[in-house]
A and B are shown apart, each in its own frame.
Chain A
Amino acid sequence: MATTSTSTGDIKKTKSVEVKKKLNVLIVDDDTVIRKLHENIIKSIGGISQTAKNGEEAVNIHRDGNASFDLILMDKEMPERDGLSKLREMKVTSMIIGVTTLADNEEERKAFMEAGLNHCLAKPLSKAKILPLINNLMDA
């Protein structure tokens, strides 16, 4: 079932909006509240998720090789290393979306993309922000 939403305020509570394919997402964030929020956002759009508290955990999850992720949602403002460069070294093919307060800063966006991100989204994340982006990236 799918309806479209044009902006954050227009989401209808009674209808669910889902991605076109069931996604497996790795959520990398050092904040428990944000991990829970992102988990639920992914669930609400029909995906499943696993979480990591930092880059090291994210890298270890990939090293274990038990899971393959369509998408990695990565907090770009963690005090510890977020693992992006390591994940790219490991030739991880997942799409990686950085979540940051600096998403609107053109220079920072460029730096993030050059570092290996596929896209940036501004904090705080919402269903309305992520759903169109995921569908566009999946179509590409």
Chain B
Amino acid sequence: MQRQVALIKQSLFDQGYLDEQFIELEELQDDANPNFVEEVATLYFKDSARLISNIEQALERGSFDFNRLDNYMHQFKGSSTSIGASKVKTECTMFREYCRVGNAEGFLTIPYLRRVQMFEDFQATEERARNVEKEA
């Protein structure tokens, strides 16, 4: 069982979903904080779901408030960086660039695909992490 968990975790690193910051979280888990990683991950998923919902609502409105979108992305990127969610962090960076240049058209085409990819990456990361929890 532990070997399976280790393999799943390694695959998350190998596929670029997680980076060395996640190892930092694991290093902080000890007898005094035995559930630290799970607690941080749970906070991250809860907070991220809220941010993604805000982003989706902002995009559905049609007229893009790039400052607001950039603010959401900034928050999402910050927490993703802190937890080691590498792919999500990268996608947030790209999104922020489009926000900065006010590229509405680009936002709707290629960034849309990136946007979908980001959400899919996020969901994949969440699902895999929950599987790791269940296995542990």
Contacts and interface: CB of A to CB of B under 8 A. Distances in A.
Interface of A: 8-9, 11, 13, 16, 30-34, 36-37, 40-41, 43-44, 77, 79, 123-127
A120 to B, nearest CB: 16
B41 to A, nearest CB: 9
B132 interface: no
A4 B21 CA distance: 20
A44 B28 contact: yes
B47 interface: yes
Interface of B is mostly: helix
Contact of B83 (A33, A41, A77): A33
B45 to A, nearest CB: 10
B40 A37 contact: yes
B25 A37 contact: yes
A32 B50 CA distance: 12
Nearest to B28: A40
A127 B78 contact: no
Contacts of B33: 40, 43
Chain B contact-residue range equals: 20 to 34
A36 to B, nearest CB: 6
27 contacts: A8-B20, A8-B24, A13-B27, A13-B30, A31-B78, A31-B79, A32-B79, A33-B44, A33-B82, A33-B83, A34-B79, A34-B82, A36-B39, A37-B25, A37-B28, A37-B82, A40-B33, A40-B40, A44-B30, A77-B74, A77-B78, A79-B71, A123-B78, A123-B82, A124-B21, A124-B81, A125-B82
Which are the 6 A-B pairs with shortest beta-carbon distances? A33-B79, A124-B82, A126-B24, A33-B44, A40-B28, A34-B82
Contacts of A37: 25, 28, 40, 82-83
Interface in B90-116: none
